[in-house]
């Protein structure tokens, strides 16, 4: 029984939800209000199609609402009950993608996609679209379907629709099967009546006895097999042990062969060994070792000496360089020039003093001439005004020249003095070098002496490698002989 149906965007239904109750349910409405559409939706919900679609009068997409606005999708939901189970169908169609369908039984998803859902519904309702559309849901104006069938075919068409022809076929097959069984039953009854029961019982007893005997034989055979299996297991264990022992024996045999080979190698080597006195070799070895040690000590001593000589030579080379530097300085140092400078400085100083005196005299004479009237201040002769003025003028000219000379002299004197002081410093340096050269003495001689000594020592360098080799040879010989002695 259908409990509920919901249509969304399905033809003229924007969103319609209808609940059905027990008994008859009737849709009432004016023409075009959507009553037939509800039946279409039920048919579409169950079987994914409608009579108009089947007859190709419309396409599935025409089911989607296109007025007043074109919608993208439509959905039909049917909730129904069958065999005390609740089912819910949902089918959706879309304008531009493939449609979707699902079926749930008591909430659990049991089919997905249009074909699966239709197949499941056909099983649940035991009705297919053909029967549903002809017998249960009569399309508008098609209630007269049965009347339109041609009278001659009417029976068989209705049988086909209701699948009644299957029952007719089954009935015919059952009759023929029944006859077959009846025949068989008769045949068996006849066979049975020919049997001698006592004879059969005797035979059965014999067979049972024989069977019992066979069972007994079987169990004794089984017992034997078990015993034999145990024995086999034991023997296999022994075989395993024997194999292991064989392996061990073979290993030992191989070891023995190897040992024999080693022994013969050693014996050959023993034959080859020189027959020398071990004591003698040892003595020689000791002697060579002491020789080697002494030489090594000597070598170390010489190395120390060499390093001492090298440091001494370095020292002397430094001193020589210092001496050469001093000598070079003294070569360019000019004592005479300093003396001349001193003299020039003194001369300049004396001239300057004389000039200063002259200046003082001139100053005084001019002052006197300016104060005296009519008489000469030096000779006291008559001095006319004209003459006096001339004298003053002459003296003043002289004083001017003298002043110029004094300035010039002062400049010359101070530059000379500076020159002299500079040169004077070199005197100290020269004295230092003189003293140092005296101290250093014959550095060249000493240096060449040490260099000669170093050359001599280097010429006599000790080569320890030969004697070391000799000691090593003796040592190996000694070891070989000793081990040979032990082997013997
Ligand atoms: N895809 C559609 N979108 C919108 N309206 C539609 C669509 N297909 C059909 N219709 C309209 O649905 C109405 C049909 O309703 P119908 O179920 O036949 O009414 P009733 O059976 O109550 O007379 C018509 O008015 C028709 O124009
Ligand atoms: Mg109608």
The answer, yes or no, to whether any atom of ligand 1 lies below 6 A from the CB of 11, is yes
**Same domain (yes/no): 266, 298:** no
**Same domain (yes/no): 111, 11:** yes
Q: Ligand 1, residue 27: give the atom nearest the CA.
A: 22
The answer, yes or no, to whether any atom of ligand 1 lies below 6 A from the CB of 32, is yes
Minimum CA distance residue for ligand 1 atom 25: 32
User: How far is it, in rounded angstroms, from Cα 308 to Cα 245?
Assistant: 79
Element housing 398 (H / E): helix 385-440
The predicted-structure confidence for 167-193, as pLDDT tens digits, reads as follows: 888 888 999 999 999 999 999 988 888
| C-alpha 32 to ligand 2 mean position (Å) | 7
Mean of pLDDT over the chain: 89
Residue 155, domain member (yes or no): no
Task: Return the minimum-mean-pLDDT range out of 30-39, 160-169, 202-211, 257-266.
Answer: 160-169
User: How far is it, in rounded angstroms, from Cα 295 to Cα 280?
Assistant: 23
Helix (H, G, I), strand (E, B) or coil at 213: helix
Q: Ligand 1, residue 38: give the atom nearest the CA.
A: 17
**Same domain (yes/no): 220, 324:** no
**Same domain (yes/no): 351, 310:** yes
Q: What is the pLDDT of residue 488?
A: 66
Q: How many domains does the chain have?
A: 3
Q: What is the pLDDT of residue 111?
A: 97
User: How far is it, in rounded angstroms, from Cα 360 to Cα 399?
Assistant: 10
**Same domain (yes/no): 29, 116:** yes
Question: pLDDT category, 282, cuts 50, 70, 90?
Answer: confident
| C-alpha 101 to ligand 1 mean position (Å) | 23
The predicted-structure confidence for 65-99, as pLDDT tens digits, reads as follows: 999 999 999 999 999 999 999 999 999 999 999 99
**Same domain (yes/no): 303, 446:** yes
Q: Ligand 1, residue 29: give the atom nearest the CA.
A: 22
Supply the DSSP string of 237-288, one letter for each residue: HHHHHHHHHHHHHHHHHHHHHHHHHHHHHHHHHHHHS----HHHHHHHHHHH
Residue 476, domain member (yes or no): no
The predicted-structure confidence for 103-135, as pLDDT tens digits, reads as follows: 999 999 999 999 999 999 999 999 999 889 988
Q: What range does the domain containing 304 cover?
A: 289-370+406-456
32, 42, 95: residue to mutate for ligand 1 pocket, most atoms within 8 A of CB:
32
User: How far is it, in rounded angstroms, from Cα 111 to Cα 118?
Assistant: 9
Residue 126, domain member (yes or no): yes
**Same domain (yes/no): 231, 139:** no
CATH number at residue 132: 3.40.50.300
Minimum CA distance residue for ligand 1 atom 2: 11
**Same domain (yes/no): 426, 346:** yes
Question: pLDDT exceeding 70 applies to what percent of the chain?
Answer: 99
**Same domain (yes/no): 334, 263:** no
């Amino acid at each position: 029984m259908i409990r509920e149906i919901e249509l969304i965007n399905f033809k003229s239904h924007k969103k319609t939800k209808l609940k059905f109750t027990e008994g008859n349910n009737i849709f009432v409405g004016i023409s075009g209000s959507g009553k037939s559409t509800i039946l279409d939706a039920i048919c579409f919900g169950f079987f994914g199609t409608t009579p108009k679609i089947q007859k190709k009068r419309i396409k599935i997409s025409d089911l989607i609402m296109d007025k007043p606005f074109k919608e993208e999708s439509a959905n039909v939901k049917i909730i129904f009950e069958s065999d005390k189970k609740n089912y819910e169908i949902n089918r959706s169609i879309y304008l531009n993608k493939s449609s979707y369908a699902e079926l749930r039984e008591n909430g659990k998803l049991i089919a997905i996609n249009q074909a699966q859902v239709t197949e499941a519904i056909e099983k649940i309702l035991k009705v297919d679209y053909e029967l549903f559309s002809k017998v249960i849901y009569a399309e508008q104006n098609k209630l007269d379907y049965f009347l339109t069938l041609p009278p001659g075919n009417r029976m068989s068409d209705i049988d086909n629709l209701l699948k009644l022809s299957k029952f007719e076929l089954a009935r015919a097959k059952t009759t023929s099967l029944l006859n077959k069984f009846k025949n068989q039953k008769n045949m068996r009854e006849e066979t049975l009546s020919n049997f001698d029961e006592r004879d059969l019982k005797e035979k059965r007893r014999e067979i049972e006895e024989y069977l019992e005997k066979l069972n007994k034989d079987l169990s004794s055979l089984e017992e034997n097999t078990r015993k034999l299996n145990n024995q086999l297991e034991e023997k296999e264990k022994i075989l395993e042990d024997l194999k292991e022992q064989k392996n061990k024996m073979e290993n030992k045999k191989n070891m023995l062969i190897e040992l024999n080979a080693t022994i013969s190698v050693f014996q050959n080597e023993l034959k080859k060994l020189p027959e020398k006195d071990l004591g003698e070799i040892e003595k020689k070895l000791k002697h060579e070792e002491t020789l080697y040690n002494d030489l090594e000590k000597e070598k170390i001593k010489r190395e120390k000496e060499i390093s001492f000589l090298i440091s001494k030579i370095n020292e002397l080379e430094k001193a020589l360089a210092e001496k050469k530097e001093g000598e070079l300085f003294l070569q360019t140092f000019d004592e005479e020039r300093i003396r001349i400078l001193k003299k020039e400085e003194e001369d300049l100083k004396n001239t300057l003093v004389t000039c200063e005196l002259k200046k003082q005299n001139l100053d005084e004479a001019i002052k006197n001439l300016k104060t005296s009237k009519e008489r000469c201040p030096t000779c006291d002769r008559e001095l006319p005004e004209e003459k006096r003025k001339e004298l003053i003028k002459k003296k003043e000219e002289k004083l001017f020249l003298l002043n110029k000379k004094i300035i010039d002299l002062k400049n010359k004197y101070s530059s000379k003095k500076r020159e002299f002081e500079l040169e004077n410093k070199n005197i100290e340096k020269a004295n230092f070098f003189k003293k140092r050269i005296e101290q250093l003495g014959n550095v060249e001689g000493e240096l060449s002496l040490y260099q000669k000594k170093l050359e001599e020592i280097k010429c006599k360098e000790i080569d320890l490698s030969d004697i070391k080799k000799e000691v090593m040879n003796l040592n190996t010989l000694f070891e070989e002989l000793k081990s040979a002695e032990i082997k013997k």
